[in-house]
Amino acid sequence: MAPRVCSNALEAVSLIGNDEFIWTHSMGATPRVLLEALAQHAMTRQNLTLLQLHTEEAEALSVPELKGHLRHRCFFGGAPTRALLASGEADYVPVFLSEVPKLFRSGEQPIDTALVQVSPPDSHGNCSLGISVEASRAACDVAGRIIAHINPQMPRTHGDSFVPYDRFAAVYEQSSPLPEHPMAGADAISQAIGKHVASLVEDGDCLQMGIGAIPDAVLGQLADRRNLGIHTELFSDGILALYRSGAINNSRKKVHPGKLVTGFALGSRALYDFVDDNPEVLFLDIEQVNDTSVIRRNPQVMAINSALQVDISGQVCADSIGTRIYSGVGGQMDFIRGAGLSPGGRSVIALPSTAANGAVSRIAPVLSPGAGVVTTRAHVHYIATEYGCANLWGRSIRERARALIDIAHPDFRESLCRETFELWGLSI
């Protein structure tokens, strides 16, 4: 059956009734036009639940007037939802990113309506989820209805991104710019961390990393490497520059050799133009991209991730600042475990040595109360700051403490030694 073609976004979302679970397309494909209309429509409805990963430009749904009408249920927090999560006005669900699609496909988390932003239909009648397949692929598979913003500026990407036009219940077409994240500036601390992490990267490694100043700094120092591969949940401009340098050719991969594999892309318009109709880039269901059994099949997986705090035993907090939810579990453990099981694989957690303008050490004797342990001390390999890399794999607690204090900020090393003795009984 052909979808209802709507003259405005409000008409499209008017199909949503009371008590519905609504999934929103996430990351750079966040359907801002539909969500702004939903903010208006939700005022006429009760008990709506908006399911989401990280969203871009979705602040319209965070206003206090929506209390009682719409509540956020977040598998990953972001700027539009952090204040709501901190006040208890939104819900955080800790879950591995690889398992979000399983929640949907199992029926554990029902989805009544999925809101997506897609490319115009091609000659075969298929629209593309474009720069963000992630868990939206699974949401589209199980949703009772799909409402689509058709955006001529959305790239048509290859892989698991295609949704038949006649699968939509309603469509609204409008040309709208996609959110862009230019490469981060090269500050001195990020450059120093990037240099230390880059020293761990070998020819033939298969890379996974995120977005931001530290990943960009790492990638910027790998132009002399050869036969690198990419199998990552997130594809950004730093990878694009390295690909064009010839360092990346994906030739050593066992899973999709010759292809750059990702779950979503976030970056500049140049990045979006690169992935548009590019068969060398596969946007796959995040259940496959982040599946540990898939990741481990590639040799020399090098997983590079970040953290908010690390304790001297190697426990990694990456989703909260104490009890205050900042982001989410995401795919960090998916890739750290996959890398650990990969032949020649390894992983690194990279972070600045301090926070709060140097007032707080991110390396702590114990994690802050309520801090979320995303990566356990049994899984961690390397920790890197601007002061060096600490290899924790196979090391005792005492050896870990010594190695981590050595890469802490010098202003905190004495107090860390003292507190490690007081709390752990360890003389460093």
Three-class DSSP labels, 180-211: CCCCCCCCHHHHHHHHHHHCCCCCCCEEECCC
Closest C-alpha among 130, 165, 162, 132 to residue 146: 165
Active site residue 233: yes
Q: Which two tokens stand for residue 24?
A: 């929103």
Q: Is 65 helix (H, G, I), strand (E, B) or coil?
A: helix
In the block, tokens 């910027």 appear at 220
Pairwise CA distance, residues 224 & 204, whole Å: 12
Pairwise CA distance, residues 244 & 69, whole Å: 48
List 154's β-bridge partners, or say none: none
Buried b (16+ CB within 10 A) or exposed e, 123-160: eeebbbbbbbbbbbbbbbbbbebbbbbbbeebbbbbbb
- Asked if 260 and 282 touch (Cβ cutoff 8 Å), the reply is yes
Pairwise CA distance, residues 317 & 310, whole Å: 6
In this structure, the number of other CB atoms found within 10 A of the CB of residue 358 comes to 12
Q: Fill in the DSSP letter of residue 375.
A: E
Pairwise CA distance, residues 402 & 425, whole Å: 13
Q: Which two tokens stand for residue 192?
A: 């120093």
In this structure, the number of other CB atoms found within 10 A of the CB of residue 183 comes to 21
Q: Which amino acid is at 270?
A: A
Cα 225–chain centre separation: 25
Pairwise CA distance, residues 229 & 236, whole Å: 14
- Asked if 297 and 391 touch (Cβ cutoff 8 Å), the reply is no
- Which candidate in 20, 233, 287, 386 is catalytic? 233
- Asked if 126 and 165 touch (Cβ cutoff 8 Å), the reply is yes
Residues that are catalytic: 233
